[in-house]
Chains A and B, each alone.
Chain A
Amino acid sequence: MTDLTRLTAAEIAARIASGEVTAVEVTEAHLARIEAVDEKVHAFLHVDREGALAQARAVDEKRERGEELGPLAGVPLALKDIFTTKGIPTTVGSKILEGWIPPYDATVTQRLRDADVIVLGKTNMDEFAMGSSTENSAFGPTGNPWDLTRIPGGSGGGSSASLASFQAPLAIGTDTGGSIRQPAAVTGTVGVKPTYGGVSRYGMVAFSSSLDQGGPCARTVLDAALLHEVIAGHDPMDSTSIDEPVPAVVEAARNGSVRGMRIGVVKEFAGEGYQAGVMQRFNESVELLRELGAEIEEISCPSFDKALAAYYLIAPSECSSNLARFDAMRYGLRVGDDGTKSAEEVTALTRAEGFGAEVKRRIMLGTYALSSGYYDAYYGSAQKVRTLIKRDFEKAFERVDVLISPTTPTTAFPIGERADDPMAMYLADLCTIPTNLAGNAAMSLPCGLAPEDGLPVGLQIIAPAMADDRLYRVGAAVEAALADKWGHPLLEEAPSL
Chain B
Amino acid sequence: MTVTELVSYEDALAAYDPVMGLEVHVELGTKTKMFCGCSTALGAEPNTQTCPTCLGLPGSLPVVNATGVESAIKIGLALNCEIAEWCRFARKNYFYPDMPKNFQTSQYDEPIAYNGYLDVDVDGEVFRVEIERAHMEEDTGKSTHVGGATGRIHGAQHSLLDYNRAGIPLIEIVTKPIVGAGEKAPEVAKAYVTELRELIKSLGVSEARMEMGQMRCDVNLSLRPRGVEKFGTRSETKNVNSLRSVERAVRFEVQRHAAVLDDGGTIIQETRHFHEEDGSTTSGRVKEEAEDYRYFPEPDLVPVAPTRAWVEELRGGLPELPRVYRNRLREEWGLSRHEMQSVLNAGAIDLITATIDEGAPADQARKWWMGELARRANEDGVELAALPITPAQVARVCALVKEGSLNDKLARQTIEGVLAGEGGPDEVVTKRGLKVVSDEGALGTAVDEAIAANAAIADKIRGGKVAAAGALVGAVMKATRGQADAARVRELILEKLGVEG
Assess A104 versus B101: contact at CB under 8 Å? Given A321-B93, A325-B58, A372-B290.
no
A367-B295 Cα distance, complex, nearest whole Å: 11
Give the chain A neighbours of B296 by CB distance below 8 A.
317-318, 321, 370, 375, 379
Q: Which residues of A361-385 have CB atoms within 8 Å of chain B's CB atoms?
A: 367, 370-372, 375, 379
Q: Give chain B interface residues in 76-101, CB to chain A under 8 Å.
A: 91, 93, 95, 97, 100-101
Give complex CA distance A208, B93 in Å. Answer: 15
**Once the chains bind, are A240 and B302 in contact (CB under 8 Å)?**
yes
**Interface 9-residue window, one of B60-68, B117-125, B245-253, B394-402:** B60-68
| A321 in contact with B91 (CB, 8 Å) | yes
- Complex contact A210–B59 (CB within 8 A): no
Taking a contact as CB atoms under 8 Å apart, the answer to whether A370 and B59 are in contact is no
Question: Which residues in chain B, 45-69, are within 8 Å of chain A measured between CB atoms?
Answer: 52, 55-64
A324 part of interface (Cβ distance < 8 Å): yes
Q: Which of A90, A104, A236, A317 has the most CB of B within 10 A?
A: A104
A239 on the B face (CB < 8 A): yes
The dominant DSSP class at the A interface is: loop
Report which of B52, B58, B61, B95 forms a contact with A238, defined as CB distance below 8 A: B61
Q: Which listed residue (B59, B292, B295, B300) contacts A240, Cβ 8 A?
A: B300
Select B93's contact among A102, A324, A343, beta carbons within 8 Å: A324
Interchain CB contact (< 8 A) of B57 among A103, A237, A238: A103
- The interface residues of chain B, by DSSP majority, are classed as loop
Complex Cα–Cα for A370 and B293 (A): 9
Q: A239-B301, A372-B292 are in contact. Are A84 and B91 (CB under 8 A)?
A: no
A441 interface residue (CB < 8 Å to B): no
Q: Which 3 A-B pairs have the closest CB atoms?
A: A324-B102, A210-B299, A370-B294
Taking CB as reference atom, which chain B residue is nearest A344?
Answer: B95
Please state if A209 and B300 are interface contacts (CB–CB under 8 Å).
Answer: yes
A326 proximity list for chain B (CB < 8 A): 58
Q: List 13 A-B contacts (CB under 8 A).
A: A84-B57, A102-B59, A106-B59, A201-B61, A202-B60, A204-B59, A239-B64, A239-B302, A240-B302, A325-B102, A327-B97, A329-B97, A331-B57
Closest Cβ–Cβ distance, residue A176 to chain B (whole Å): 12
State the Cβ distance, A340 to closest chain B Cβ, in Å.
13
Contacts of A466 in B (CB 8 A): none
Point out the residues of chain B lying under 8 angstroms from A203, CB to CB: 52, 59-60
Q: Taking the complex as formed, is A341 at the interface, i.e. its CB lies under 8 A from any CB of chain B?
A: no
Please give the distance in Å from B145's CB to the nearest CB on chain A: 11
Count A-side interface residues using an 8 Å CB cutoff.
Answer: 42
Interface members, chain A 61-109 (any B CB < 8 Å): 83-84, 90, 92, 97, 100, 102-104, 106
Residue of A nearest to B52 (CB): A104
CA A46 to CA B15, docked complex, whole Å: 73
A83 with B59: CB separation less than 8 A: yes
Kindly state whether residue A485 has any CB partner on chain B within 8 Å: no
Query: A90 CA to B91 CA in the complex, in Å?
Result: 26
Given that A367-B294, A379-B296 are known contacts, is A205 also in contact with B58, CB under 8 Å in the complex? yes
Smallest CB gap from B161: residue in A: A329
Counting CB contacts under 8 A, is B103 at the interface? yes
Residues of the A chain whose Cβ atoms lie less than 8 Å from the Cβ of B292: 371-372
Give CA–CA (A209, B95) in the complex, Å: 20
CB proximity of A268 to chain B, nearest CB, Å: 27
Provide the residues of chain B in CB contact with A239, threshold 8 Å.
61-64, 300-302
Residues of B within 8 A of A331 (CB): 57-58
C-alpha spacing A102/B95, complex, angstroms: 23
Find chain A residues with CB under 8 A from B159 CB: 343
Known: A102-B59, A206-B59, A236-B63. A324 touches B97 (CB 8 A): no
Give the complex CA separation of A183 and B101 in angstroms: 31
- Alpha-carbon separation in the docked complex, A239 to B103 (Å): 18
For the complex formed, measure the closest distance between the CB of B298 and the CB atoms of chain A, giving whole angstroms.
Answer: 8
Interface members, chain B 192-234 (any A CB < 8 Å): none
> Which residues of chain A are near B62, meaning CB under 8 Å?
239
**Cα–Cα, bound, A238→B300 (Å):** 8
